[in-house]
Each structure stands twice: as structure tokens, then as C-alpha cells.
Amino acid sequence: MEYLRQFKEEANWYNEIVLDALVPGGAWKRLPRLLQSWLRNYLGGTILYFVSGFLWCFYIYYLKRNVFVPKEAIPSNKAMILQIIVAMKAMPWYCVLPTLSEYMVENGWTRCFSTVGEVGWPAYAVYLIIYLVFVEFGIYWMHRELHDIKPLYKYLHATHHIYNKQNTLSPFAGKSLPVDLYCIPQFLNITTHASNVVRRLCLVNVITHVNGYIFLIQ
């Protein structure tokens, strides 16, 4: 169908932008499509994690030292390295749900639409609001259950809270947990009924959660 072809063409464009620049010799084109999507999400997310984290550190900890964060509150290099190590262990898992979501959309297993014109602006606005409400509600309860259910806290979430004190918190702590369940509400909603624009919002939101919350905290 035409609208499914548009989803695939857009994903191909993303793959060419990211993978052609990072994988030599076009070797990625021989991979199954699902692995192509995962590799693009993984490489793109990892680059975004490091670039945004280092830029943040350079601006806040170096150029604006003692302006936004007191000198004594700046985390040590050791703490940031440990956060990076944990985040790199988690990153492959973070990229699974966006990859699976894209696969389901491209194969017509969802009710996603490729353009706003297919449903009109009023319906689009309603879907967008539903998406935002669902995601925020889902993330709140997912986070709450990660604290209330002791095994989940012990084996999944506790690592995250090692780094949430002011003198250990850095931009690299946003993914300092083995596996985060926050992206599940986004995945569930995006694979049921959403537009291509909202689909992009979901995928970007999952990746930029890498260290996005740190800006709000600081």
C-alpha cells in the first residue's frame, strides 16, 4: 500500500544518512532490514549521547563553572566514566523497542498514518493529545512501580539512583541503569494509532531521553 511505502522510504532515508556515514563500504545494506533499523538507532543514539553530554559538560562545568553548578557539586571524572559504562551496556536494549515499533509500522500491523491529510487536523490534534497524555501517565506509573515492586527496583532501577545525587549527577547519568522501562508506554501507543509525525516524536523522544532529563534537574 502507498502509505506503507512512504514509511519504508523515510526509514531508508534515515538509514542512508546515518549508516552510509558510519559503516564503511555500504556493508549495512547486506543486513536484514530489522538489523539495519536497530543499527541506525544504536549508532545515532550513541553519538547523540556522547555529543550532547560532552557539550553540556563543556558549557556548564567549564565555560560556566560556578554559575549554574557550584564547583564542589561537579561530579568526578570517575563518576561520569562509571555512568558511561552503564549507559553503554543499556544502549543496545534501549534501541530494541524503537526498532520493533518501526518494523510493525512498516508492515501494516498498526494504525499509523503517513500524513496529517489522511485524517485531518482536528483528528490529528486529538491523537496527539491522547499520545502525550498516555505517555506521561504511563511513564509516571512505570516509574512508580519500579520503586514499589522490590525486585524491579533491585535489579533494574537501583543502579539509576546511585547517580542522582547532586555531586554525582551528570549528563551521562540519563541512561545509567541496566534497562529502563519508560519507553514502553511510548512503544505501546505508537504501535496502535498515531501519525508519522508522532512516530518521529516517539523515536526521537526515546533516543533523546539518553540525557534529556538532566537539563530539567539542573
64-106 pLDDT, tens digit each: 888 888 888 888 888 888 888 888 888 888 888 888 888 988 8
Higher-confidence residue of 207 and 17: namely 17
- Highest mean pLDDT pick, 8-22, 94-108, 149-163, 201-215: 8-22
Between the alpha carbon of residue 74 and those of residues 54, 65, 70, 86, 170, the distances in Å are: 14, 9, 7, 19, 8
Tell me, what's the pLDDT at 7? 86
121-136 per-position pLDDT tens digit: 898 888 888 877 887 8
Per the prediction, the chain carries an average pLDDT of 77
Tell me, what's the pLDDT at 183? 55
Q: What is the mean pLDDT of residues 187-196?
A: 47
The distance in angstroms from the start CA to the end CA of the chain is 47
Name the residue range of residue 112's domain.
2-217
- Highest mean pLDDT pick, 46-50, 69-73, 167-171: 46-50
Task: Single out the residue of 45, 27, 31, 34 nearest to residue 11, CA to CA.
Answer: 34
Tell me, what's the pLDDT at 2? 77
For the cut 50, the answer to whether the pLDDT of residue 190 exceeds it is no
Return the HEC string of the chain.
CHHHHHHHHHHHHHHHHHHHHHCHHHHHHHCCHHHHHHHHHHHHHHHHHHHHHHHHHHHHHHHCECCCECHHHCCCHHHHHHHHHHHHHHHHHHCHHHHHHHHHHHCCCCCCECCHHHCCHHHHHHHHHHHHHHHHHHHHHHHHHHHHCHHHHHHHHHHHHCCCCCCCCCHHHHHCCCCCCCHHHHHHHHCCCCEHHHHHHHHHHHHHCCCCHHHHHC
Q: Number of structural domains, the chain?
A: 1
For the cut 70, the answer to whether the pLDDT of residue 174 exceeds it is no
138-166 per-position pLDDT tens digit: 778 888 888 899 998 888 777 777 766 66
For the cut 80, the answer to whether the pLDDT of residue 31 exceeds it is yes
Q: 173 near 217, Cβ under 8 Å?
A: no
* Local confidence band at 209 (pLDDT 50, 70, 90 cut-offs): very low
CB atoms within 10 A of CB 58: 11
For the cut 50, the answer to whether the pLDDT of residue 218 exceeds it is no
pTM, 2 dp: 0.78
